[in-house]
């Protein structure tokens, strides 16, 4: 039987699609992100479907469609092409695509598909790492180089929550005027960060790339490269609330690495999806009423 988000049958008029992308080739330290998509889906039926903050049940208002879990090519180029055609398919069918990674490299496949349709696309990058290396361990298409490639594609982005990067990445990002919000800025001046984020989100079409290690590892320990000092749940929700007011055209949630017998991080991914969808519905309803 097909594994679906929340364990529910695919909704007839689904507006949101979950795309499992079990691609993992270049993770540098702890392996296992390829197991995340199936584990995220498997834990999702245990989520509470009702969102108490908005009074909304996202599965009733938006409806979810889950793409089947398929094998992924080991070769980065082939994998990215496959992701690209999956995202294009989701887009053509009118879904908001949410990709479940897999390593961070998958973002490249998604945004290359979306940029063809929406040239004005921009990205909100939530991560502990800047992923702005020219190459990593001899590889140009790696989880550690994703945002360098995205920069070369001419797609604007802001990176938020950063707290692990090399001196070269730091310098390169500065030289190229990449807006980076470090974790310490979130701790010390979250109001300003949110205000500037709101400005960034206020025009254009936004793709959200959420690396689970942006969260504090006390909250999301199941990641390949945990870094202390990450976002709190409350901070993430405040960011997602602002995102819901923007024109979001796609999202990925990457780098979850299941810990055996401790599926909390996978469970949290499902919770993030439900929260974000509840906020989307809330914004649609309120805007419709006003």
Residue 129 lies near Mn ion (rule: CB under 5 A): yes
Complex with Mn ion: residue 220 or 280, whichever CB lies closer: 220
Min dist CB 138 to Mn ion, Å, is 20
Show contacts with Mn ion in window 212-231 (CB under 5 A).
213
Complex with Mn ion: residue 107 or 112, whichever CB lies closer: 107
Contacts 24+ apart (CB under 8 A), 280-285: 280/58, 280/62, 280/244, 280/248, 281/54, 281/56, 281/58, 281/61, 281/62, 282/54, 282/56, 282/244, 283/244, 283/245
Q: Tokens 């689904």 label which residue?
A: 14
Complex with Mn ion: residue 128 or 273, whichever CB lies closer: 128
- Token pair, residue 58, equals 């996202």
Min dist CB 18 to Mn ion, Å, is 21
Min dist CB 24 to Mn ion, Å, is 14
Residue 169 lies near Mn ion (rule: CB under 5 A): no
Select the span of 45-53, 86-94, 126-134, 231-239 touching Mn ion (CB under 5 A): 126-134
Residue 211 lies near Mn ion (rule: CB under 5 A): yes
Residue nearest Mn ion, CB atom distance: 129
Select the span of 2-10, 15-23, 42-50, 204-212 touching Mn ion (CB under 5 A): 204-212
Give the DSSP letter of residue 263.
T
CA dist 188 and 230 (Å) reads 13
Complex with Mn ion: residue 114 or 128, whichever CB lies closer: 128
Q: What region does 253 belong to: left with phi over 0, alpha with psi -120 to 50, or beta?
A: beta
Complex with Mn ion: residue 54 or 265, whichever CB lies closer: 265
> Using alpha carbons only, what angle is made at residue 105 by residues 200 and 129, rounded to the nearest 5 degrees?
60
Question: What is the distance between the terminal CA atoms of the chain, rounded to a whole angstrom?
Answer: 43
Q: Tell me the angle at which helices 183-201 and 233-244 cross, rounded to the nearest 10 degrees.
A: 10
- Rounded to 5 degrees, φ, ψ at 120 are -90, 10
Q: Which of 127, 172, 252, 282 binds Mn ion (CB under 5 A)?
A: 127
Select the span of 34-42, 51-59, 183-191, 206-214 touching Mn ion (CB under 5 A): 206-214
Complex with Mn ion: residue 112 or 225, whichever CB lies closer: 225
Select the span of 93-101, 196-204, 208-216, 264-272 touching Mn ion (CB under 5 A): 208-216
Distances (CA, A) of 151 to 179, 191, 214: 12, 27, 20
Show contacts with Mn ion in window 28-67 (CB under 5 A).
none
Binding to Mn ion by CB under 5 A, coded x per residue (else -) over 76-115, reads ----------------------------------------
Min dist CB 254 to Mn ion, Å, is 8
Judge contact between 80 and 25, C-beta under 8 A: no
Min dist CB 190 to Mn ion, Å, is 20
Residue 252 lies near Mn ion (rule: CB under 5 A): no
Cβ within 8 Å of residue 16, ≥6 positions away: 58, 62, 63, 64, 65, 95, 96, 98, 277
Which chain residues interact with Mn ion by CB under 5 A?
A: 127-129, 211, 213
């Amino acid at each position: 039987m097909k594994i679906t988000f929340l364990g529910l049958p695919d909704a007839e008029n689904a507006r949101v699609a979950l795309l499992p992308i079990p691609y993992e080739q270049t993770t540098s330290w702890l392996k296992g992100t390829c197991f995340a998509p199936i584990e995220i889906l498997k834990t999702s039926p245990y989520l509470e479907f009702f969102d108490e903050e908005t009074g909304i049940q996202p599965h009733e208002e938006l409806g979810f469609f889950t793409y089947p879990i398929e094998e992924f090519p080991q070769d980065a180029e082939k994998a990215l092409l496959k992701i690209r055609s999956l995202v294009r398919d989701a887009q053509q069918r009118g879904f908001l695509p949410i990709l479940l990674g897999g390593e961070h490299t998958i973002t490249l496949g998604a945004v290359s598909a979306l940029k063809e349709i929406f040239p004005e696309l921009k990205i909100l990058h939530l991560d502990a790492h800047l992923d702005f290396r020219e190459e990593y361990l001899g590889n140009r298409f790696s989880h550690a180089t994703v945002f360098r490639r995205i920069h070369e594609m001419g797609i604007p982005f802001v990176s938020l929550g950063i707290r692990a990067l090399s001196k070269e990445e730091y310098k390169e990002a500065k030289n190229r005027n990449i807006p980076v919000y470090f974790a310490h800025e979130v701790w010390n001046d979250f109001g300003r960060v949110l205000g500037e984020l709101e400005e960034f989100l206020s025009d254009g079409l936004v793709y959200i790339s959420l690396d689970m290690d942006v969260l504090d590892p006390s909250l999301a320990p199941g990641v390949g490269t945990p870094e202390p000092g990450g976002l709190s749940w409350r901070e993430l929700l405040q960011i997602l609330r602002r995102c819901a007011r923007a024109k979001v055209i796609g999202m990925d949630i990457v780098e979850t690495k299941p810990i055996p017998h401790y599926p909390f991080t996978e469970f949290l991914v499902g919770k993030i999806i439900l929260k974000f969808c509840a906020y989307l519905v809330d914004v649609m309803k309120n805007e419709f009423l006003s």
